[in-house]
Chains A and B, each alone.
Chain A
């Protein structure tokens, strides 16, 4: 017994010293890999622990957020967004980038290059990360700083999808003002930058820019017709119900689905003639759409959705351009839908809708950016310039702001300064342009946005 006891004593003293030894060894826990997930879990826990479910404002905001998402889903996704994705995809695939680039190269006519640069932003820079290298190329090897700046601004500002959604949700006046403003801006800002820094503009390198391989190009009139038909389809499908009955607006509203059907059929015929789509498939598609159109005319969304499905099958079962068209459209949808959903939920949560408040009291909004004062416009421009807006999210956010009391002038100012600039974006531009030019660029954008806001707010 005593042996066991003394053995036990020896064992425990052995353990004591090996305990001390263990404390000196490095920890088994890899804190580096734990910090992030742990903070997320703790943060999430704290968030839900303190969730202000008693606050009426809070629960209302949640409801508003969900209600806004539903409204978007019901009113805008099928009729407006999906066709817009197809139009944007068509721009990416059918507009010949080579022929556009000719106007931005070294020998290009200076006046023309500004004009082309101001509209071609979203045509050429389909991937947002392409904008900077292309901008640098146009600056150093092509038409120069002015057109390059025009291009840099116009790329995000004249985003086809954003303009379509802006017009649809915020109203055609703002949509058009945004498009026109962005084009005019980019030219003016480009010209200013060229003027301010003209002494620094050295002779361009003689080497030309590398154009993409010349593809077999469709004649320009065909491309124009294609887009005209698609835009016609989009506009007829989204033609709103006018408040007063009678007059041109109502007349069009009465026949909007006939018009949409007409444009769709025309589009189908063009696809058969120019894109190798088989005629029997088109006929099949038309019949498929006519069935719900005639049997359930009170729910035009059903026929429209069948039409969309039929269109996609026409695109994907025909080899060649139609497949690229589908892929380009799908890429846009994949990238943008999650962002838009997030933007809508956040906008609804923070800003609510006219009549029901979100988390941010509308008195704050109308106090800061209501009316059309110089300060309101300036504030909106500056906030827009620094704040980051993921593609299209500016629309639901602006919708919320306007509903909470923001004036139309400041709204336009935000639309013109917002998408093109953000703090992270400014830092990247600075790495290419240098601080002075970047500062000049930002200043010009803010000033122009403020002025445009003032003018627009005054007249509308």
Chain B
């Protein structure tokens, strides 16, 4: 499973990355978590705001910090 956290580096994005990593650890799913900070690369995903979370190419959350339970729900 490939998870990308999109964000240029502000505290909200860092917090999202941490939540995603915690969720992956808690659920025990085998997944790589990658942080994307380049603005144009983020724009390529067509998200309207950061932080954003993309799971296996599918945009799951845009513009807000997701809750850990939500992330666990996506990675199932």
A residues sitting closer than 8 Å to B (CB atoms) are: 97, 101, 124-125, 127-130, 132-134, 136-137, 139-141, 207-212, 428, 431-432
Contact = CB atoms under 8 A, between A and B. Distances in A.
B13 to A, nearest CB: 7
Interface string B1-37: 0000011111011000000000000000000000000
B42 to A, nearest CB: 4
A interface majority secondary structure: helix
15 contacts: A127-B49, A129-B10, A129-B13, A132-B8, A133-B39, A134-B50, A136-B40, A137-B43, A137-B46, A137-B47, A139-B43, A140-B40, A140-B44, A210-B45, A212-B62
B54 to A, nearest CB: 9
A26 B48 CA distance: 53
- Sorted nearest first, the 6 A-B pairs with minimum C-beta distance are A136-B43, A129-B10, A133-B42, A209-B46, A130-B49, A210-B59
B48 A209 contact: yes
B9 A129 contact: yes
A370 to B, nearest CB: 39
A129 B7 contact: yes
B59 A133 contact: no
A175 B45 CA distance: 38
A207 B46 contact: yes
B28 to A, nearest CB: 27
A211 B12 CA distance: 19
Contacts of A139: 43
B9 A210 contact: no
A132 B49 contact: no
A140 to B, nearest CB: 5
A428 to B, nearest CB: 8
A432 B13 contact: no
Given A97-B49, A136-B40, A210-B52, 5 more contacts: A101-B48, A129-B7, A133-B39, A210-B59, A432-B40
B36 to A, nearest CB: 10
A129 B40 contact: no
A104 to B, nearest CB: 8
B5 to A, nearest CB: 13
B48 A212 contact: yes
B53 to A, nearest CB: 11
Contact of A125 (B9, B42, B49): B49
A212 B63 contact: yes
Contacts of B49: 97, 124-125, 127, 130, 133-134, 212
A221 B42 CA distance: 35
Contacts of B7: 129
Contacts of A428: 39
Contacts of A129: 7-10, 12-13, 50
A323 to B, nearest CB: 14
A208 B42 CA distance: 14
Contacts of A127: 10, 12, 49-50
A145 B62 CA distance: 22
A323 B13 CA distance: 22
A137 B39 CA distance: 9
Contacts of A128: 10
A432 B40 CA distance: 7
